[in-house]
Amino acid sequence: MGLLLRFLTVSVAIPLAVSLLLSPLGGRLLLLSLFSLSIHEYFSLNCFLPPPIPHQHADLLSTLVLACALLESPPLASSLPSLLSPLSLLLTLVLLALRLLPSLPARPLPLLLSALAPLYVALGFHSLLGIHSLSLPHALMFCAYTWLADTGALLAGTYLPTIPAPALLRRVSPGKTGTGYLGAFAVTTLSVALLDGRFLPGDGGGWARPLVKGPLVAGLAVAGDLIESGMKRAAGAKDSGTFFPGHGGALDRMDSMLLSAPVYLWLYVLPGALEELGK
């Protein structure tokens, strides 16, 4: 039943997501909706500071930051995105300060972690908005590569002989194996080799490109997954939410993109966008 539910969710969610990404407005609304859900799930987890933050605080923060991101994200394919929306950053800091500063004298490190984590989520989604606004082919390929990295890790970890993960990684995510990590790297590198030249023909790089881009995207996807696993372990939760039946919450599904999106934007999307502006 669990595998069937996961399959049914994927069979609906992926075609819907791709159809929305093909539209400039639809893609933006999709990303902003996932951003709002992810921020809400993070504050509902309350990873670092008890007692739990009331849901109304999470909803307020989610709604206001969402509105600022909508206002300040780059106009549709008309300008380069800033690294992070200054107004969204300022608003997030103000709301965090109002909620968390009473804990500062007793718990400075948990307070810092509580402040940095939502900014990390905001940076990831802002970069995703930038990729989508500047290059639809890159947006689709980036989503494909990160989803394939997750799929490669799942299939290799399930069906191939188990290679234990390093002890440090097992402490963060005990269910993951070295076989799964190797599967993520292998599938992503092969996907870049097969798809980049067909769908991103102007990027160049030759045969060496998959050997750099594939492991880079896979490594950052794995690291993003581990960061979110650490958050969930700190909160004592298995999933960040239940929005995707059989898969968990929005943050569970987007974690592998949050760390890799800013790097992908700066290495593979902005150089081409700057070149086009210079023509």
Most confident of 71-80, 205-214, 225-234, 260-269: 260-269
pLDDT in tens, 55-111: 555 555 555 555 565 555 554 334 444 444 555 555 555 655 555 555 555 556 666
Determine the Cα–Cα distance for residues 93 and 234; give it in Å rounded to an integer. 22
Nearest to 188 by CA among 144, 235, 136: 144
Number of Cβ atoms within 10 Å of the Cβ of 278: 6
Q: What is the mean pLDDT of residues 37-61?
A: 64
* Residue labelled with tokens 């590198």: 189
Under 8 Å between Cβ of 221 and 257: yes
Under 8 Å between Cβ of 246 and 6: yes
Q: What is the DSSP string of 164-224?
A: PPPHHHHHH-TT--HHHHHHHHHHHHHHHHHHHHHH-GGG--TTHHHHHHHHHHHHHHHHH
Query: Which structural domain, as residue segments, surrounds residue 80?
Result: 2-278
Domain count across the chain: 1
pLDDT in tens, 108-142: 666 666 667 777 887 888 888 889 888 899 999 99
